[in-house]
Amino acid sequence: MDIYFIIEKLILISAILGVSLLIAMYTTLAERKFAGFFQDRVGPNRAGPWGILQPLADGVKLFTKEEIIPTNAGTFLFVLGPSLSMFTACITSAVIPWGPDLTLFGKTVALQVADINVGILYIFGVVSLGVYGIMIGGWASNNKFSLLGAIRAASQNISYELAMGLSIIALLMVTGTLSLREISIQQEGWHWNVLYQPIGFLIFLICSFAETNRTPFDLPECETELVGGHHTEYSSMKLGFYLFAEYINVFVSSAVLATLYFGGYNFPGMHLISNPNVVAILGVAALFIKILLFIFFFIWIRWTIPRFRYDQLMKLGWNILIPLSIINIVVTGLVIILKQ
Amino acid sequence: MSHSIFYLLSFVTLLFALLVVFAKNPIHSALYMVMTFFSITCHYILLNAQFLAIVNFIVYMGAIMVLILFAMMFLNLGKETEVQKPIYLKFAAVIAAGLLMLTIFAAIKKTDGGEISGLPINDIGLVKNLGKTLFKDFLLPFEIISILLLSAMVGSVLLAKREIN
């Protein structure tokens, strides 16, 4: 194996990890600012101008708090829970194509860590793994509220995974490939998948909200019923990991949504620019603008729509989304056959 | 290179499989089982069977083990509630396990420890090739298995359905 290849990938991985952590950090601030705006308040504005040092202050606060591990908790699993949450949140971004190929010093650099030909399924697998962090942490806390949160997370995750998988099947019928890179290339010039799969997009979007445990689907940490849900017993940076993993998940989900349905790194007028490096840089910028819009959408929904009741959540998943996605598959198949 | 990875992976797989049996706590057991499935997924990747690997990952680690853990968290298994089996059942279990061990040893003794080789056609594990093979050469068995799975699904729904009134 080529040493330059390893160095190139290492730089790319570090850059992506750094950017996702940075964006997750400032999403916490953006969330609180927008929450303030929606509720006619100011929001955090003490740390630095306009509160831009607030995430740092929060981080220092979480790091310096006392670490408490409950006496009857399983120590290893108690620590493993938040670590696993953070880990699964970070590894999803490996298959996302961040932009077209760059040409540096006569070498082609792909702006994607790994172009595996089952890219979508990889994302789907890692997303389904994300629930282990919550389940293990909730169980190891040895607390009834935590356990209830963990159980809710598990059942919610399984229910919405089905609808998500079915909406991906309809998307695959249109694209004919599982590789995210090829899907991005196919969408060049306004052939965005959301135009071909509007219902599939809607189902995928709703399921992304459920899989990231964001309002209106944040039943695992529903504070009116379960104190703090699965992280009731957690303090210090272990709590911080759970909270932070949620924001990384929001970022990665936004990136997946933008790549699968909103054209990825493609932008209007892409073919007019001849220099490939300029195209690559503008492509990355376009993808990040789309991602930021989706993050705003996540925040917007959180401060607008109240939380579901648990039976409503199950009903939406099993009685509405799954039949709808099956109908979507059938209609997609019929349209493809009729067009041939 | 690939041989040493294979031996390392096999060691890890067997280690976790043994820990599933030896762990005292049922939840720990289930978590070791997750690790066993993960190392089996790695075996598939070593065979260049990407599709099987990722499907094994999604179905076994992502769905089945979550369901098993989910059910176990409700059961509240502890030492106090553990049911002691009668002595004749224990004897029967030991004899059955001994017979199984004998069969496995006999089977292992018959095989020759020759070269470890990959899949006969090296790209069969990729999605496109696998799909084409399934829908061309093995269409009938594939459809029959689908019907079998569907009937099992309908049957389980019927069994789980509560009688009204």
pLDDT digits (tens, 9 = 90+) for B93-152: 999 999 999 999 888 887 766 665 555 556 777 788 888 888 888 889 999 999 999 999
Helix (H) or strand (E) holding A101: strand A99-104
Domains of chain A: which residue ranges? 3-339
Q: Which residues pair with A102 in a beta bridge?
A: A109
Please report which confidence band the pLDDT of residue A48 belongs to, taking 50, 70 and 90 as the band edges.
confident
Which of A42-81 are b and which e, b meaning 16 or more Cβ less than 10 Å from the residue's Cβ? ebbeeeeeebeebbeebeeebeeeeeebbeebbeebbbbb
* Contact call for B127 and A124, based on CB within 8 A: no
| Among A115, A146, A158, the residue to mutate for chain B (most B Cβ within 10 A) | A158
**How crowded is residue A192: how many other Cβ atoms within 10 Å of its Cβ?**
19
Question: The tokens of B26 are what?
Answer: 């049922």
Per CB-CB distance under 8 Å, the chain B contacts of A121 are 51, 54-55, 58
**Cβ distance A231 to A146 under 8 Å?**
yes
Residue B81's pLDDT is 58
Identify which of B54, B67, B126 has the shortest CB distance to residue A158: B67
Tens-place pLDDT, residues A169-191: 888 888 888 888 888 888 887 77
A97-106, A185-194, A240-249, B116-125: lowest mean pLDDT where? B116-125
* Contact call for B73 and A139, based on CB within 8 A: yes
Please report which confidence band the pLDDT of residue B77 belongs to, taking 50, 70 and 90 as the band edges.
low
Residue B82's pLDDT is 60
Asked if pLDDT for residue A23 goes beyond 60, the answer is yes
Please report which confidence band the pLDDT of residue A316 belongs to, taking 50, 70 and 90 as the band edges.
confident
* Contact call for A158 and B61, based on CB within 8 A: no
Q: What is the mean pLDDT of residues A238-256?
A: 88
Residue B149's pLDDT is 93
Asked if pLDDT for residue A62 goes beyond 90, the answer is no
A and B: number of Cβ contacts within 8 A: 58
Q: What ipTM was assigned to the predicted interfaces of this complex?
A: 0.79
Question: The tokens of A69 are what?
Answer: 């591990």
**Positive or negative CA dihedral for A190, A281, A102, A112?**
negative
Residue B13's pLDDT is 92
Highest mean pLDDT among A224-228, A288-292, B26-30: A288-292
A123-127, A272-276, B21-25: lowest mean pLDDT where? A272-276
Q: Global pTM?
A: 0.85
Question: The tokens of A294 are what?
Answer: 């989706």
Asked if pLDDT for residue A159 goes beyond 60, the answer is yes
**CA-nearest residue of chain B to A165?**
B58
